[in-house]
Structure formats: C-alpha cells, structure tokens
Chains A and B, each alone.
Chain A
Amino acid sequence: MCGIAGVIHRDGTADIGAELTAMLQAMKHRGPDSTGYAVYGPADDLVVIRFVLAEPNRSTGFGMEERLARNRLEVEARLAKIGAEVATVTSDTGYAFRATVRYSGELKPLADYLEDVPGCEVLSLGSSLEIIKDMGDADTVSDQYGLGSFRGTHGVGHVRMATESEVDLASAHPYWAYPFADVAVVHNGQLTNYHQWRRRLEQAGHRFQSECDSEIIAVYLAEKMSGGLSLETSMKDSLDDLDGVFTYVCVTGNELGIAKDEMAAKPLVLFESDELVAVATEEVSIRTLVKREVETRDPYEREVLVWQV
C-alpha cells in the first residue's frame, strides 16, 4: 500500500520536518514498517552527506560498537584522502550519520569510495538534500533524528508497508538518485519493467542500493535531467518508459513534481495555494497541515505537475 506526501513552500522556509511528520503520521495506517524523509534545508557551500554504517536491526551485538567506530574513522579518513575537508560529522543513532564537507570534485567517485567501507551506504549527497529513514512510524523516526526542528523549503516523505522486499533500511524510501546531487523520489505503486530498466541503467554505469523498483525512478529521472532535460519533461517521458501502476513525487534542489500513470490506479490529492503546495496519498494527511476546509483535487491519469520554490 504505502503512503507518500510532499510539501513545497513558495514563500520561504518553514518547519518542514514537523510538517511532514504530521502528514506522514496521519497515514500510519498505510504503512507502519518504515518512514523516510527527503528534506531540503538552506543550501550553502558545504556538501551534506547522509550515510549509514549498518542496518538498524543489525547495529548492535558483540563487537558492533567498536566496528561502527572503526568504520566511521575509515569514512572520515577516506573523505580526507579524496580531498573533502570535513566540517562536521554527527550521529543521532550510532549507525546513521550526517557529515558536512567542503568538496568540489565529482560526486560519484566520492559516493563509491565511501560505500567501499564495510556496511557503508550513502543515503543522500547534495548541497541541501538530506534523506533520513528508519524503521517505525513518523513520530518515532522524527524523534530519533530530531526532525521536529528541521527548517527548509520543501521535502517529501514516505510511510512503507513492506510487500515485496525486506523491512529494512535499504528498502525504505525515499531514494536518492545516485550519483546525482539533490534528487530524490518517493513512490507508491509497482513497476512491471523494473528489470529491463535496471539492466539499462546499470549498463550506463549506475549502481542501485536496493532491489526496490522505486529506486529506478529516481535514477531514471536524474539521468534524463543530467542530459539537459527539465524535470517536467523527464517526468512526462517516464509515463511512456515506465510500465506499471504508480504515483510518484520527485524533488530536486528547487522543484517538486508529481506524476500519475495512465491507469490512475494509485491515489494522490493535491492542495495548491500561492504560498504552499501539498500533496499526499490521502486528504487526511493534508488536513494536518491546512486545518480548514480547502479546495483539493485528485490529479487525473498521465498528469505531470511541477512547482518551483
């Protein structure tokens, strides 16, 4: 089933961590297995890296603490070795980390080099994107990572009901579009030509963090955009290239877009005002943000809409 939500403030920053948490918690019934966020804070000259060194359910046990500490030092050493000047490294959990670095090189070698450290998985890379995901409902994950105080312009979130893959962090949404900066996707649905697209994209040099079909969408869109296409055009192309039933939300450094497949089989409700755009699988989610009667609508089949910050 799963539930997705997105919010974009057109008039500046807001408490998007708290907003998305409320929106996602209202859809807990659609997926209590894991919750994830892709949020955009103010961009500066630092690169933000969110990475994990172990799956949450395998982060404790004999010698694990020492191993995590050793691998964290290895990550920091590799950052220095590749020419990234480390500004901060913090962790809320012991296995998930947030690093900020000064780095002007290519992102792909950086991500690959870090992921060569045992257990390391880069969740996001960019100047403003931060992907946070973990097991449990939105309140649990928000409390764990202190998202209540996160301010930013836009973001998306996902509550997951595991159906076809593990209840683990690798299968949790959102997905970063490795190796492209600041692009992430949340998705509700199934892609039936997943393996076809995965082979194509792997042949083009991309790697995938998971076996989840949703990750294809993120990498597909980012590759299109890296070839010069706009987000809107890339999303429109995806309606012909991707097969299955899906509704997804894609976010970049300054945009948020939605797309619905030609069967319109997966729900999405849209609220739009001059200051704010909010989308969610169910209206009850939007009502946590806008606590009054508002005009909303269900986008129709093959509809693609994109908003800018």
Chain B
Amino acid sequence: MASVGSRSGVSYDARGLVEPHAEMPDNIEVDGGRARFDATDLTIRQINMALRKLIYNDGIVDVTVLNPSSKHSLAVGILKRCRIHFEGSPGWFACGLIDGPEVTINGRVGWSLGENMMSGVVVVERGAGSLTGAAIRGGDLIVKGDVGARTGIDQKGGTIIVMGDVGINTGFMMQRGRQIICGNAGQNLGDSMYDGEIYVAGKVSSLGVDCVGGEWTDADTELIERKFRIHGLGDPPPFEKFVCGKQLHNYDALEPSERKLVI
C-alpha cells in the first residue's frame, strides 16, 4: 500500500496507519554487548524497532538512547532482562508494560510512566507527569523529582518511590503494592484504596475516602531501608503510614459461593 509523507517526516498509509514502512535506523553503534544511538531525527516507531532488534535479535544487553526528545511510547512492552538508558527526556507512556528491563532516565518523563509495568526497575533522575506507575503489577519505579496527579492509580503490586511531591488522588483505588513518598502529597491520598501501603514523609493535604493512618511495624522499617539501600537513595526520612480502612468496599459481605463454604 502506498504511503504518504508529511512535513514531520512521519508517513501514513491510505488507512491512516502511521509509518507502514519505517526503516531501521542506520546510526546504531554496537560495541560487544552494548549499543547506542541518537534518537533526535528518528520517529517513535524507528526508536522502538531499534530497541527490539538490538535486545531480542542481536543479543545486546545494554542500550543507550540519546536525545529521546520527549517522544511518546518509547521502550514499551520489552519483556526481557536488559539495561536501557535514556540520555534525555522521553514523553508519555514510557516503559509501559515492561517485564524485566532495568531502565534509567536522566531527564524528565511525561504522563503514564511505567503503566502496567510487570517487573524490572525504572529510575528517573528528574520529575514525571501524572498517572506515574498507573496499574503497575511489580518492579520498582523511582522518580527523584516531583510527579503529577493520580500516581499509582489502580496499582496492583510493586513499589513506587517518589523523592519529591505528588499531586491529587495519589493511590486512587490502589489494590496492592507500596508507595513511598518523600515529599508532600496532594488532596485525597489513597482515595477508595482496596489494599496496599502508602508512606508519606511530608505533609498530606487530605486523606481520601476510606484511607486511614496505619500501624507502623518492623516490616515497614525493613522494607523502606532495604529499598533505599538497593537504589542508593541515602537515609530515608521518617514516614507516616496510610492504609485502607476496609469500610468502603463491602469487605465483610461474602459472595454466594464463599457463603456456602463458610456455612
């Protein structure tokens, strides 16, 4: 099918699909198990094509992407142990759905960083936008600056560490996992959460529905100290713990099948 170009360099086919015939970039430098390439003039599809080819086909275990220039959806769906370093700032949806990679980003990231991440580590040296760590299921997601609203919304596992502040509705409907917030938290912290733990070192503007203060245990101290040690984050500040009050979601009402078993 014929494709048409645009001034931005992105091509579309007659159905409007983007880049039906994207070409593999020719500026990749490979050195043993390592590779690097400059993404300044590459399209999103070219960058992801290069990452997948290097990691899946060429056995490269360490890739550096220079100048991602806030392009969206980079390094999404990488399901293999490897190291990826972004020298600059990716855009929205970076590192979503990953299962295994260790990603370092020395810039800032847009909305939905690490959405649905399953395992691995993502470390961002600056800030991130809203919906950071939405629905993550595992792994460690660390942002050293401030993040936007709804951090860890619908979180199902894993650990989110934010060294700065977080916005409104952080931990909204989280189901499992941990959030460690070193700065201040916006309004409605932990609103409608089902389970999990949120630790906040700064000021909390307000708690959401059914989010309550939790009892501190030795396991909390051990967890936080271990995470800070592993990721080289220095000494942890003192935190306050917040959990689900278990009053909102009918925790005591059994399903019919469960009732039969109990009876």
Q: Which residues of A contact B (CB under 8 A)?
A: 25-26, 28, 139, 262-265, 267, 269, 282-284, 286-287, 291, 293, 295-298, 300-301
Contact = CB atoms under 8 A, between A and B. Distances in A.
Contact of A300 (B8, B69, B70, B167): B167
Which applies to chain B's interface (DSSP): helix, strand, loop or mixed?
loop
Interface in B56-110: 69-72, 88-89, 91-92, 107-108, 110
A283 B168 contact: no
Given A283-B70, A284-B70, A264 B91 contact: no
Given A263-B169, A298-B148, A300-B168, A284 B130 contact: no
B149 A265 contact: yes
Contact of A283 (B6, B8, B108, B187): B108
Nearest to A301: B168
Interface of B: 6-8, 69-72, 88-89, 91-92, 107-108, 110-111, 126-127, 129-130, 146, 148-149, 167-169, 186-187
Contact of B70 (A287, A295, A301): A287
Contact of B129 (A139, A263, A267): A267
27 contacts: A25-B7, A28-B8, A262-B187, A263-B149, A263-B168, A264-B130, A264-B167, A264-B168, A265-B149, A267-B129, A282-B91, A282-B110, A283-B91, A284-B70, A284-B71, A284-B72, A286-B70, A287-B69, A287-B70, A291-B69, A293-B89, A295-B108, A298-B127, A298-B130, A298-B167, A300-B149, A301-B168
A264 B148 contact: yes
A213 B110 CA distance: 27
Contact of A269 (B107, B129, B168, B187): B129
B119 to A, nearest CB: 27
Contacts of A263: 149, 168-169
Contact of B88 (A28, A265, A293, A298): A293
Contact of B149 (A26, A264, A286, A295): A264
Given A267-B130, A283-B70, A284-B69, A296 B108 contact: yes
Given A264-B130, A282-B91, 13 more contacts: A28-B8, A139-B7, A263-B149, A263-B168, A264-B186, A267-B129, A267-B130, A283-B89, A291-B69, A293-B89, A295-B108, A297-B146, A298-B127
The 6 closest A-B pairs by CB, nearest first: A264-B149, A283-B70, A298-B148, A284-B70, A301-B168, A287-B70
Contacts of B88: 293
A301 B167 contact: yes
Nearest to B146: A297
Contacts of A300: 148-149, 167-168, 186
Q: Which of A262, A286, A295, A301 has the most CB of B within 10 A?
A: A301
Contacts of B186: 264, 300-301
Contacts of B168: 262-264, 300-301
A25 B148 contact: no
Contacts of B127: 297-298
Contacts of A28: 8
Contacts of A269: 110, 129
A12 B51 CA distance: 43
A296 B89 CA distance: 10
Q: Which of A25, A283, A293, A295 has the most CB of B within 10 A?
A: A283
A284 to B, nearest CB: 4
Nearest to B88: A293
A127 B101 CA distance: 56
Contacts of A284: 69-72, 91, 110
Contacts of B69: 284, 287, 291
A58 B89 CA distance: 44
Contact of A301 (B92, B108, B110, B187): B187
A5 B40 CA distance: 22
Contacts of A286: 70
A108 B72 CA distance: 45
Nearest to A28: B8
A26 B92 CA distance: 13
A289 B233 CA distance: 34
A267 B88 CA distance: 21
A26 B10 CA distance: 11
Nearest to B169: A263
Contacts of A25: 7-8
A293 B70 CA distance: 9
Contacts of A262: 168, 187
